[in-house]
A and B are shown apart, each in its own frame.
Chain A
């Protein structure tokens, strides 16, 4: 039991590490998605560009949106942004901090996809094989323009009958892959330097504001979690009281309708009467039927004296407190 409580408390206290975990999982998922995706360039003049650039840019958008959806903090931030001010002022610095941390985490998986794509090279080869200058390569000089375009478009497809064992195809392919990998490594280097600088130079600017913003964003997150848990706990207790109350009112009704003499062998006060006065088949049937046809009102204020834990101050929105004047479900 202690272990579960510890795990619960761990998650409550470090929502940031949970977010980091999700972010890492998405990055791994994006690599896995790329390796399991069967890239097949159409090798047709206009389709190549669309396909290549599409594969390079659409999955990152999807991963970015997934990163935003899976991050619980984005909902918390939106709620904080849109709530009425009420009695608690809104601090824009906190909202900005949350927004930037969410965006940073959501950008990791798309960047991983783009970098992996560039380092692998297939996308760029597919997209830009038609834009290569054929003069630079042997084997394309003596063919008409249209045919050159067709040939170039077929460069990404190794197994095509036109390009099998074609050395100029391999040359173009190597050339494009070289560009692609250079671009990939450059982007990676720039991003790592930017991340390094941002992290290193941050304490030089506004450290106090940053600490405050981080504290309050954590607070808002924890407060919301605890509110949800309290609501769950409350609804459990509420349901418990409501059901006990229902059984009690059933017992009263049975006492009213049966003509039995007052019993003398009552239970001593200390022992719980589990049977709650329902002691034969018809009473049980009546109870079950009443439970279905007429659920009790959502109001346990009459149980207040016996069960001081429940303090129901006002009738709840779903409640219909009035006792029915119409026909009750009659005894079968």
Chain B
């Protein structure tokens, strides 16, 4: 139990490193996804562009949304944003901080996908093979081919097996050219992203450090408060259920005593724990009746029952107890994580 508590506390205190871990895992997952994906250029004039750009741009968008979905804090942000003001003011800088830190982490996996795609070169080769400058790289004056036919021939560049335009432009030359452009774009993109990250990270202490410390503290606070509230409610629900069930059994045994006109069986003083736990139900018929009653007529969600339970028991309003001095045996045990 202690070990789990330590781990829990570690994650609670290092919430940011936990999020960083998830973010790293998603980046690795996106690299894996790319290498496992079987890229299949259609090698047809207009389909190439759609396919290539689609593979380049749609998975990053999906990964970005996934980054938000997997982040637990998104519901916390939404809750904090939409709650009524009440007695506690809302600080927009805290909301901005939470949103920014989530967005930054969610952007890493898409950026990794884009870089890997561009550095690999297949997407750009597929998408832009029809725009290769044939004049400079090949023989534009090759006779007999109309524009449409040239486009069709060029579109087959990525598919080496069916390429039939070797006289127009050599396949390797075109692929090398396109791949060079793609890799240049890829490296420039990575450089741009890294420079942006560096600027964001290094300019912050120069300008708004105090405000940053404040926002970070309160965003952690909101998260921890939410978790602790959930834990407290869970504890309360447990105690509530325990007492409710105990009262049900007591009510049952009181009913039976009244119905069967038995003398109330007083447990002898030295009966011990076992007799107490039986809660007055000591034979098969009584037990069956208790079980049936539990199914047919669950007790009200009200721990101040009147002396005689009335009807089906969903309490509408808090009923004032008629026997305020009825002994209330609350033997809820204390299970606390806090």
Contacts and interface: CB of A to CB of B under 8 A. Distances in A.
Interface of A: 1, 4-5, 8, 37-38, 40-44, 47, 50-51, 54-55, 58-59, 61-62, 65-66, 68-69, 74-75, 78-79, 82-83, 157, 159-161, 229, 231-233, 235-236, 238-240, 242-244, 247, 254, 258-265, 267, 272-276, 278-284, 288, 291-298, 317-320, 322-324
A78 B13 contact: no
7 contacts: A54-B187, A62-B190, A79-B205, A160-B172, A243-B229, A258-B318, A317-B214
B180 A75 contact: no
Contacts of A319: 88-89
B271 interface: no
B260 interface: no
B205 A318 contact: no
Contacts of A282: 315-318
Interface string B200-240: 01100110010000100110110011001100110110011
B197 interface: yes
B225 A41 contact: no
B288 interface: no
B180 A318 contact: no
Given A83-B209, A261-B324, A280-B304, A42 B243 contact: no
B218 A58 contact: no
Contacts of A74: 202
Contact of B209 (A82, A243, A323): A82
B153 interface: no
B246 interface: no
A298 B320 CA distance: 33
What is the interface residue range for chain B against chain A?
Answer: 35 or more
Contacts of B172: 157, 159-160
Contacts of A44: 137, 173, 176-177
Contacts of A160: 170, 172-173
A294 B332 CA distance: 29
B257 interface: no
Q: Interface residues of B: mostly helix, strand, loop or mixed?
A: helix
B250 interface: no
Contacts of A292: 83-84
A79 B108 CA distance: 25
A295 B220 contact: no
A1 B217 contact: no
B96 interface: no
A231 B236 CA distance: 28
A236 B11 CA distance: 13
B303 interface: yes
Contacts of B88: 294-298, 318-320
Interface in B225-278: 225, 228-229, 232-233, 235-236, 239-240, 243
Contact of B84 (A55, A293, A296): A293
Contacts of B220: 231-232, 235
Nearest to A273: B330
B198 interface: yes
Contacts of B180: 40-42, 47, 51
Contacts, number: 209
B183 interface: yes
Nearest to A238: B221
Contacts of A61: 191
Kindly name the residue among A229, A235, A283 whose own CB sees the greatest number of chain B CB atoms within 10 A: A235
Given A37-B119, A264-B325, A295-B88, A281 B315 contact: yes
Contact of A275 (B84, B86, B239): B239
Given A4-B7, A274-B332, A242 B13 contact: no
Given A43-B173, A229-B13, A267 B330 contact: yes
Nearest to A283: B318
A79 B13 contact: no
B6 A1 contact: yes
B21 to A, nearest CB: 14
B37 interface: no
Contacts of B217: 231, 235
User: Which 9 residue pairs are nearest across A and B when measured between Cβ atoms?
Assistant: A294-B86, A281-B301, A279-B303, A42-B180, A280-B302, A239-B225, A320-B89, A235-B221, A78-B205
